[in-house]
Amino acid sequence: MLGQVFKKPQKRSVFHDNIFKEIEELGLKSIGIVAFISFFVGGVVAIQTGLNVDNPWIPKYLIGFATKRSIILEFAPTFMSVILAGKVGSYITSSMGTMRVTEQIDALEVMGVNTLNHLILPKIIATVFFYPFIVTLAMILGIFGGWVAGEITGLFTVDNYIEGIRLEFKPYLIVYALTKTMVFAFLIATIPSYYGYYVEGGSLEVGKASTKAVVWTSVVIIIFNYFLTQMLLG
């Protein structure tokens, strides 16, 4: 399957159009939910850290530091990818599965189109190169959410929070997070595509394939997360 997916596209202009369509469908249309969740989860992480740091010997700036680390290292790349696996993964499987059961993929095949390349490669490119931007946005909004939570609850001051954010800033951690994101994006594009492309039957089977795709993509992301963390940080 992957051999055919990574063949040279048959027509460059059609391929470019498809990439932009997929960026819109799989990327731009996910920004709203990513922004919403990131902002509030960032706020919750800051509040919970603040509530647990009640020892006067522990400096308050650690709230900002802990919020930043948890958002950059895990929440933005992994948690967001699992959310995108649900939203985007189910979309990919159901749209491709519907194309399969309504013979649209056969129609493309009969025209002489390399369907694996035509349908899947633009999705891989769109997710692998666009999701790092989405995850960066999730990082920024998550940290901002923590700041706003501090302002509202009064658990910590803005100065303390910003001091924590600035403390021990390691650019490699961003590289690590974005590397993970690119791997997860590849999984989000390929696993649901596989389930959708090879579905057999009718709409019920498309629904079942969609559920399976989301479950397996999430499971594989979590497993890859473990090994990537070991490889890149261990």
Partner 1 sequence: MIEVKDIYKSFGENEVLKGISATFEKGNTSLIIGTSGSGKTVFIKCMLGLFIPDKGDILYDGRSYIAMSTKEKRLLRQEMGMVFQGGALFDSETIEDNIMFPLKMFTEQSKEEMLERVNFVLKRVRLENVNQKYPAELSGGMQKRVAIARAIVMNPKYLFCDEPNSGLDPKTATIIDNLIQEITDEYQMITVINTHDMNSVMEIGEKIIFLKNGVKEWEGSDKTIFKTDNKSVTNFVYSSNLFRKVREVYNK
* Contacts to partner 1 by CB under 8 A: 10-11, 13-14, 95, 98-99, 102-104, 106-107, 109-114
Q: How far is the CB of 172 from partner 1 (least distance, A)?
A: 42
Report how far Cα 8 is from the mean position of its chain's Cα atoms: 26
23/73 with CB nearer partner 1: 23
26/177 with CB nearer partner 1: 26
CA angle 103, 112, 100 (to 5 degrees): 20
The string of DSSP letters for 158-187 reads HHHHHHHHHTT--HHHHHHHHHHHHHHHHH
Identify the burial level of 42 via C-beta atoms within 10 angstroms of its C-beta, where 0-12 means exposed, 13-18 middle and 19 or more buried: buried
Q: How far is the CB of 29 from partner 1 (least distance, A)?
A: 14
80/99 with CB nearer partner 1: 99
Closest CA to 216 of 195, 196, 185, 186: 195
158/202 with CB nearer partner 1: 202
Q: How far is the CB of 21 from partner 1 (least distance, A)?
A: 9
Q: How far is the CB of 26 from partner 1 (least distance, A)?
A: 14
Report how far Cα 127 is from the mean position of its chain's Cα atoms: 8
168 within 8 A of 216, measured Cβ to Cβ: no
Q: Which two tokens stand for residue 4?
A: 């055919």
Q: How far is the CB of 6 from partner 1 (least distance, A)?
A: 14
98/179 with CB nearer partner 1: 98
Scanning the structure block, which residue is given the tokens 């954010």?
A: 165
